[in-house]
């Protein structure tokens, strides 16, 4: 029996292991009893706040375990709409909100809403590892648009414009995973102009919107003439450390949300009610809890700047947001893949090779700031010393 072409071709010829090779090797080492410092995936080292878990438990015990409203419970949709409107200034109601089983589901559904089979879907390289396969899964043709290290990975509108004619959608992510870059207003205005001129849908992945260390987060939905063509992906995963709870949302024009509700009815059938209750409770705690969740990464960014100062072997892309550092290790003469593998073997420190996130990040590694401060400082110090030794 033959599987469908769509499922068997999710990973393209250039995707390799989609970035999971080093991560899986590190996990095998750990399973064999080797101590490994994992700086790989974007998983908080602190878990979901006990108050959120208590509320989730009480909601479940209280009986909210049956089918919940497919679009999302009304109070949660209202809370998300209020949050988004307050952040962006764009009028937003519950009719603009669909609650989803996490940000990844929202990415898939958003593209399914705007792309037909064979449509070209644009995205920025470097990219989050699931992007190309997500686009193939909906039947679209993924087209990466390179951003360049020399520009600190701010995308150029001129590069996007080269591929925009005849395309259907554009996917961006700011604050960015893997680079830690926050797109400037000029960058976003350039992207918006290309979308308007070429009649593209813009899908904006904003799951790191509470982790801003430098600059400001600007949702492109707030730019002139963009609300009608923008779908925003949001999530509780990064802002409230609720990664395993799988709850996020899509913000979109009312007609798109209506269609997405129909899609959800025939796919996910919504999100568990007690998890939605917990998400609502978390959002009601507001900015103070979001700041507490973000604080460790802000501290570790400062630690990293201190460790990386005064040497030129390991350079860093300006870390403006999110929980990652993108480190340029080209002075060692190694590729990102070879450096990450050698670092894991020699120092038992696991990072992600830049090549995992596209060609534009070749010669880089991504470091997740997801271990406690002392362990992070020690690991980064050892990483720098290892790189110096390789470069000699």
- Residue 54 inside a domain? The answer is no
pLDDT at 373: 98
The pLDDT averaged over each successive group of 10 residues in the chain (392 residues) is: 89 65 91 96 94 98 97 98 97 98 98 98 96 96 97 98 98 98 98 98 98 97 98 98 98 98 97 98 97 98 97 96 98 96 96 94 97 98 98 87
Are 132 and 254 contained in the same domain?
yes
- Residue 272 inside a domain? The answer is yes
Are 228 and 155 contained in the same domain?
yes
- Residue 56 inside a domain? The answer is no
pLDDT at 18: 56
Q: Which of 260, 285, 310 is the last residue of a domain?
A: 285
pLDDT at 14: 60
Question: 240: which 2 tokens?
Answer: 């409230």
Are 93 and 219 contained in the same domain?
yes
- Residue 12 inside a domain? The answer is yes
**DSSP output for 63-130:** TTTSPPPTT--HHHHHHHHHHHHHHH-----GGGEEEESSHHHHHHHHHHHH--TT-EEEEEES--TT
pLDDT at 23: 86
Query: Which residue is associated with the tokens 């590694």?
Result: 365
Torsion of CA 119, 106, 227, 80, to 10 degrees: 170
Q: Is the pTM of this model over 0.75?
A: yes
Structural domain of residue 40, as residue ranges?
A: 5-47+288-391
Q: Is 353 helix (H, G, I), strand (E, B) or coil?
A: strand
Pairing of strands 120-125, 169-173: parallel
- Residue 197 inside a domain? The answer is yes
Q: How far apart are CA 92 and CA 69, in angstroms?
A: 20
Question: 387: which 2 tokens?
Answer: 């790189």
Relative orientation angle of helices 336-347 and 21-31, to the nearest 10 degrees: 10
Structure confidence by residue, pLDDT tens digits, 63-95: 999 999 999 999 999 999 999 999 999 999 999
pLDDT at 16: 54
- Residue 60 inside a domain? The answer is no
Are 151 and 205 contained in the same domain?
yes
pLDDT at 9: 86
pLDDT at 15: 61
Are 276 and 247 contained in the same domain?
yes
pLDDT at 62: 97
């Amino acid at each position: 029996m033959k599987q469908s072409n769509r499922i068997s071709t999710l990973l393209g010829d250039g995707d390799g292991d989609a970035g999971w090779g080093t991560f899986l090797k590190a996990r095998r080492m750990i399973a064999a009893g080797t101590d490994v410092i994992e700086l790989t995936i974007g998983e908080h080292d602190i878990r979901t706040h006990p108050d959120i878990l208590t509320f989730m438990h009480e909601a479940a015990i209280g009986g909210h375990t049956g089918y919940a409203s497919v679009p999302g419970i009304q109070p949660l949709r209202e809370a998300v709409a209020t949050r988004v409107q307050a952040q962006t200034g764009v009028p937003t109601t519950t009719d603009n909100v669909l609650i989803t089983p996490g940000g990844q589901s929202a990415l898939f559904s958003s593209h399914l809403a705007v792309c037909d089979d064979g449509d070209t879907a644009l995205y920025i390289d470097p990219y989050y590892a699931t992007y190309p396969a997500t686009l193939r899964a909906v039947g679209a043709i993924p087209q990466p648009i390179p951003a360049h290290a020399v520009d600190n990975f701010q995308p150029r509108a001129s590069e996007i414009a080269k591929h925009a004619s005849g395309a259907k959608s554009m996917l961006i992510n700011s604050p960015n995973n893997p680079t830690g870059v926050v797109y400037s207003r000029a960058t976003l205005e350039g992207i918006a102009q290309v979308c308007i001129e070429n009649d593209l849908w813009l899908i904006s992945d904003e799951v790191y919107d509470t982790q801003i260390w430098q600059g400001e987060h600007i949702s492109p939905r707030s730019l002139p003439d963009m609300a009608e063509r923008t779908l925003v992906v949001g999530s509780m995963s990064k802002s409230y450390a609720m990664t395993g709870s799988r709850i996020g949302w899509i913000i979109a024009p009312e007609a798109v949300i209506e269609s997405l509700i129909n899609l959800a009815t025939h796919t996910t059938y919504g999100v568990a009610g007690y998890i939605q209750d917990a998400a609502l409770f978390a959002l009601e705690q507001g900015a103070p809890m979001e700041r507490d969740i973000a604080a460790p990464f802000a501290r570790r960014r400062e630690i990293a700047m201190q460790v990386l100062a005064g040497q030129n072997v390991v350079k860093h892309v300006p870390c403006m947001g999110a929980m990652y550092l993108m480190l340029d290790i080209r002075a060692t003469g190694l590729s990102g893949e070879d450096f990450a593998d050698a670092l894991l073997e020699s120092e038992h420190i696991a990072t992600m090779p830049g090549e995992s996130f596209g060609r534009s990040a070749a010669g880089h590694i991504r470091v997740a700031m997801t271990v406690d401060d002392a362990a992070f400082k020690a690991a980064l110090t050892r990483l720098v010393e290892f790189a110096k030794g390789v470069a000699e």
